[in-house]
């Protein structure tokens, strides 16, 4: 048997329950992946709350959260040439990774699976796709070039930390990032100039600016206001948090560019890039992981660790 964490209706993390399911088999053009680690993201609790139901309709009851994970191919279906049993892969895209085994499309044109960089372990690999992929798209949208100065709001979150590092790998001359004071040592270590948000934020950023481009990973009118004041061209500002009021102020929303995840992961794999893991919980405690993430302030990513096959049946959340 296999394990999955599912939900039957929109709501709070209390809706999640762990259950046993048969191990799927690989249909034509599919592989079965056994996950070793699963990334937790804000989109998970937004989907669970029903915030995205108009854009991302789910099959309820029995829907599964999770848009990234790392694991090992355990079965290869007919017609799949790209992967072999034992390959280490990262899965990204549509929701459904809060489980131990998943049958995933793996034909040539499918783009849900990518080999994972050698130097990362499963937990580190599992949290790369959303953070690195979003950072990559945002940097492409603002057209950051070597030698330029970048302002990053929400620099201490998952996407923010990836943005800071990818910007510096791109050759940015200076990256200034907002985050709470407890994450400033981390931001400095990664090469950013940290600024505390709230209070004197606007004055401090004005002293450090102007900037060639800005990427907002926090959302809200405060970051939008400083971006508009300190970056002269609208096209060189972007926010990754959809908000009509922010867009009306002159900060465009992110348009995802086709993700060259393989080449982004290759670049990251050959650099000192890191995404700290701030918390790890067993998959059966996914509800706690979501509550923790929603509370915020972690300074890194949360991972869920599925049971190894043969381990005792999952403990339902309410008994954990
Ligand atoms: N459009 C897309 O494709 C896309 C993709 C990924 C994520 N997102 C969205 O982007 C947001 C960030 O995602 P994430 O994974 O990076 O989340 P996260 O890891 O929870 O990070 C959010 C960060 O925002 C910081 N923050 C909160 N209020 C702030 C403020 N007023 N000024 C500056 N920073 C502030 C927090 O910093 P401290 O911890 O230091 O307080 C926190 O680290 C979420 O809303 C998510 O849904 C969108």
| Surface-to-core class of residue 107, CB atoms within 10 Å of its CB (0-12 exposed, 13-18 middle, 19+ buried) | middle
Quick check: is 74 in a domain?
yes
Residue by residue, DSSP assigns 8-59 as SSSSSGGG-EEEEEPPP---TTEEEEEEEEEEE-HHHHHHHHTTTTTTS---
pLDDT of residue 310: 64
195 and 220 housed in the same domain: yes
pLDDT of residue 70: 97
Rounded distance from Cα 31 to ligand 1 centre (Å): 33
DSSP 61: S
Report whether 112 contacts 92 (CB < 8 A): yes
In percent, the amount of the chain with pLDDT more than 70 equals: 96
Rounded distance from Cα 78 to ligand 1 centre (Å): 41
Quick check: is 257 in a domain?
no
CATH number at residue 233: 3.40.50.720
Quick check: is 307 in a domain?
yes
φ and ψ of 119, to 5 deg: -75, -5
Rounded distance from Cα 126 to ligand 1 centre (Å): 18
Quick check: is 94 in a domain?
yes
pLDDT of residue 317: 40
pLDDT of residue 313: 47
Report whether 3 contacts 305 (CB < 8 A): no
Quick check: is 269 in a domain?
no
CATH number at residue 299: 3.90.180.10
Tally of domains in the chain: 2
Quick check: is 242 in a domain?
yes
139 and 118 housed in the same domain: no
Q: In degrees to the nearest 10, what's the CA dihedral of 141, 146, 151, 157?
A: 80
69 and 165 housed in the same domain: no
Q: What mean pLDDT comes out for the span 148-166?
A: 97
Quick check: is 34 in a domain?
yes
CB of 158 closer than 6 angstroms to any ligand 1 atom? yes
Rounded distance from Cα 310 to ligand 1 centre (Å): 37
pLDDT band per the 50, 70, 90 thresholds, residue 195: very high
Torsion 53-132-190-298 (CA) sign: positive
139 and 216 housed in the same domain: yes
Q: Which of ligand 1's atoms lies nearest the C-alpha of 256? A: 3
216 and 236 housed in the same domain: yes
State the Cα–Cα distance between residues 81 and 79, nearest whole angstrom.
6
107 and 167 housed in the same domain: no
74 and 99 housed in the same domain: yes
pLDDT of residue 64: 98
State the Cα–Cα distance between residues 269 and 244, nearest whole angstrom.
36
State the Cα–Cα distance between residues 141 and 237, nearest whole angstrom.
8
CB-based burial, 277-295: b 16+ in 10 Å, e otherwise: bbeebbbbbbbbbbebbbe
| Surface-to-core class of residue 320, CB atoms within 10 Å of its CB (0-12 exposed, 13-18 middle, 19+ buried) | middle
Q: How confident is the model over 34-50, as pLDDT tens digits?
A: 999 999 999 999 999 99
72 and 135 housed in the same domain: no
Tell me the residue range of the domain where 56 lies: 2-127+276-319
189 and 292 housed in the same domain: no
CB of 214 closer than 6 angstroms to any ligand 1 atom? no
159 and 241 housed in the same domain: yes
* Domain end marker among 249, 267, 297: 249
pLDDT of residue 319: 35
Q: pLDDT averaged over the chain?
A: 93
Q: How confident is the model over 251-275, as pLDDT tens digits?
A: 999 998 776 777 888 888 889 999 9
Q: Bigger pLDDT: 54 or 313?
A: 54
Q: In degrees to the nearest 10, what's the CA dihedral of 179, 181, 187, 193?
A: 80
Q: What mean pLDDT comes out for the span 282-299?
A: 95
152 and 195 housed in the same domain: yes
Q: What mean pLDDT comes out for the span 191-210?
A: 96
Q: Which of ligand 1's atoms lies nearest the C-alpha of 297? A: 39
Q: How confident is the model over 91-148, as pLDDT tens digits?
A: 999 999 999 999 999 977 778 999 988 899 999 999 999 999 999 999 999 999 999 9
Residue 14 has pLDDT above 80, yes or no: yes
* Domain end marker among 249, 264, 286: 249
CB of 159 closer than 6 angstroms to any ligand 1 atom? yes
Partners of 5 in beta bridges: 18
Report whether 114 contacts 87 (CB < 8 A): no
Quick check: is 61 in a domain?
yes
Length of the chain: 320
HSE-CB for 83 with a 13 A CA cutoff: 34
Residue 145 structure tokens? 């070039």
Pairing, β 193-195 against β 174-178: parallel
148 and 115 housed in the same domain: no
């Amino acid at each position: 048997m296999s394990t999955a964490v599912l939900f039957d209706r929109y709501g709070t993390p209390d809706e999640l329950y762990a259950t046993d399911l048969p191990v799927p088999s690989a249909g034509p053009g599919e592989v079965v992946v056994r996950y070793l680690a699963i990334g937790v993201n804000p989109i998970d609790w937004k989907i669970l709350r029903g915030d995205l139901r108009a854009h991302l309709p789910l099959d309820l009851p029995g829907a599964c959260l999770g848009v990234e994970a790392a694991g090992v191919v355990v079965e290869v279906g007919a017609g799949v040439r790209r992967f072999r049993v034992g390959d280490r892969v990262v899965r990204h895209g549509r929701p459904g990774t809060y489980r131990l085994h998943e049958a995933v499309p793996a034909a040539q044109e499918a783009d849900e699976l990518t080999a994972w960089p050698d130097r990362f372990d499963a937990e580190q690999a599992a949290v790369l796709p959303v953070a690195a992929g979003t950072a990559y798209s945002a940097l492409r949208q603002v057209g950051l070039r070597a030698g330029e100065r970048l302002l990053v709001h929400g620099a201490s979150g998952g996407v923010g930390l990836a943005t800071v590092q990818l910007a510096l790998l791109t050759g940015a001359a200076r990256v200034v990032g907002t985050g709470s004071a407890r994450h400033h040592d981390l931001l400095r270590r990664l090469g950013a100039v940290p600024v505390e948000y709230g209070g004197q934020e606007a004055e401090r950023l004005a002293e450090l600016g102007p900037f060639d481009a800005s990427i907002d990973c926090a959302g809200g009118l405060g970051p939008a206001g400083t971006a508009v004041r300190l970056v002269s061209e609208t096209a060189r500002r972007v926010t990754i948090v959809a908000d009509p009021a922010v867009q009306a102020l002159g900060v465009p929303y992110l348009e995802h560019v086709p993700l060259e995840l393989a080449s982004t992961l290759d670049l990251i794999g050959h650099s000192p890039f890191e995404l700290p893991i701030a918390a790890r919980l067993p998959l059966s405690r996914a509800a706690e992981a979501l509550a923790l993430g929603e509370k915020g302030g972690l300074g890194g990513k949360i991972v869920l660790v599925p049971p190894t096959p043969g381990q005792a049946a999952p403990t339902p959340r309410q008994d954990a």
